[in-house]
Amino acid sequence: MGAVSRAERYRRIISILVDEGFGTAFDQLGLRAPWIASLRREKKPSAEELLSPEQRMRETIERLGPTFAKIGQMLSVRRDVVPAPFADELAKLQDEMEPFDAAIARDAIESAFDRPISELFGSFEDTQVAAASIGQVHRATLPDGTPVAVKVQRPGIRDIIEADLDILRTQARRIHGRTELGRRYDVVGLVDEFSRVLRQECDYLNEAENAQRFAELFAEDDTVHFPEVYWDWTAPTVLTLGWVEGIPFNRLDRIDEAGINRTEIARRGITSYYEQIFIHGFYHADPHPGNLFAMEDGRVAFTDFGRAGRLTKEGKAQVGELLAAIVERDYEMAGDILIELSSSSADVDAVGLKRDVGRLIEKYYDLRLHEVATRELLWEVMSLIGKRGLTLDPEFALLLTTLATIQGLGTQI
């Protein structure tokens, strides 16, 4: 994307923000420009002004496009950065887009491998089975008849994301330099972290490597399934995995109709996650219900490996000690560990933090160790950290949000 197009994208973003009533935020964030003020003067009252600030923010993000929708989803689980009402509203963002034409998908595949699609696949279904912001999935068979899922990247999406990320980082640096809020929440660090995640999700070779590692780690586990990677049919913009025959966790009606035991698949899914985290230190970090499938034989199948978390031996020990401190009602240790897992641009009120931790632990004091990591507790821990001026280190923010999500998933099933 050239400089002119990037400038046009920047103006489009600003125009949407002003149109949605966020013009005054530019002054508050130190982002003043004459043409922004001009846009703001042209703003007319609309029905959208009756929406709550949280709803207006979500709808604005939806208008801004896939980069912002992805970042909004990531922010929805960062209770240390985003107040709960906004986080709850951002959680409604969906990673869905209109599918692109099958002819475009075919052309993209042929360009990636420099071979006609008729040579690559025995069959290729034009109707996509899923369409998201970065790519869409088609069912196909290899020449030997093996059923596969082929994920094709949306043409041009990487250029759009790179332009948006460049704009966001430029503005984040300005906000960091001009406002206390920007320094407190390390907006540059947040944008850098979100950028890293989005770039990884745009690289299908990275996703393939993640998928293969999971398949190798759990090859002998008969309670879960990770699809095989077909490397000869995989490229930076095309990913081919073994087809998963199962029912997504968000279709409980179909799971019940199939006679699959909900309690058992929830247990197997959560058990696998704890093994991924605390034994392997490598875990699937996008556990929403559409990415987990109940198979007819009772196994839990995992899909979508663009986002994977890594935890060092030291990190595993710290999280284990935090959970143990909560169970043992050791406010001092729990507070100290939370400070270790976070960063701050100012002095931390350790006494106040530990007092808050104590109140929170008392609320959950009768829980046993295996019950501690409930969604509500983890959300409250993250909110507490944010209120005390701390920001979780990215490694642990991803871990806590994953733990919270899988616990919520287990409750829903």
Do 191 and 325 lie in one domain? The reply is no
Do 213 and 354 lie in one domain? The reply is no
250 versus 283: which is more confidently predicted? 283
Question: Cα 176 to the chain's mean position, in Å?
Answer: 24
Residue-level pLDDT at 374: 67
pLDDT tens track for 90-126: 988 877 788 999 999 999 999 999 999 999 999 999 9
Residue-level pLDDT at 182: 85
pLDDT band at residue 329 using 50, 70 and 90 as cut-offs: confident
Average pLDDT in the 11-18 region? 89
Do 246 and 392 lie in one domain? The reply is no
Domain termination site, one of 310, 335, 362: 310
Q: Which of 19, 80, 286, 336 is catalytic?
A: 286
Q: The tokens of 392 are what? A: 């979780």
Question: How many distinct helices (H) and strands (E) make up the chain?
Answer: 19, 12
Residue-level pLDDT at 223: 98
Which is nearest to 132 in space by CA: 165, 158, 94?
A: 94
Do 215 and 75 lie in one domain? The reply is no
pLDDT band at residue 29 using 50, 70 and 90 as cut-offs: low
Do 239 and 267 lie in one domain? The reply is yes
Do 108 and 229 lie in one domain? The reply is yes
Domain that holds residue 172: 3-94+158-200
Do 182 and 238 lie in one domain? The reply is no
Number of folded domains that form the chain: 3
pLDDT tens track for 213-233: 999 999 999 999 999 999 999
Do 135 and 255 lie in one domain? The reply is yes
Q: Any idea which of 4-8, 114-118, 202-206, 358-362 has the lowest mean pLDDT? A: 4-8
Residue-level pLDDT at 232: 98
**Helical H runs in 151-186?**
157-178, 180-184
Residue-level pLDDT at 42: 46
Residue-level pLDDT at 408: 75
Res 4 pLDDT > 50: no
Do 182 and 286 lie in one domain? The reply is no
Q: The tokens of 145 are what? A: 């008849």
Q: Any idea which of 62-71, 179-188, 276-285 has the lowest mean pLDDT? A: 179-188
Q: Which residues contact 39 (CB under 8 A, 6 or more apart)?
A: 14, 15, 18, 19, 23
Residue-level pLDDT at 28: 59
Told to judge if 286 belongs to the known catalytic residues of this protein, a careful annotator would answer yes
Domain termination site, one of 310, 340, 375: 310
Which is nearest to 292 in space by CA: 270, 317, 260, 320?
A: 270
Do 292 and 231 lie in one domain? The reply is yes
pLDDT band at residue 49 using 50, 70 and 90 as cut-offs: low
Do 186 and 217 lie in one domain? The reply is no
The pTM of the whole model exceeds 0.85: yes
Res 39 pLDDT > 60: no
Tell me the pairing of strands 300-302 and 308-310.
Answer: unpaired
Do 163 and 149 lie in one domain? The reply is no
User: What is the b/e burial string over 13-31, where b = at least 16 CB atoms within 10 angstroms of the residue's CB?
Assistant: bbebbbbbbbbeebeebee
Domain termination site, one of 200, 233, 253: 200
CATH of the domain at 259: 1.10.510.10
Which is nearest to 394 in space by CA: 183, 169, 192?
A: 192
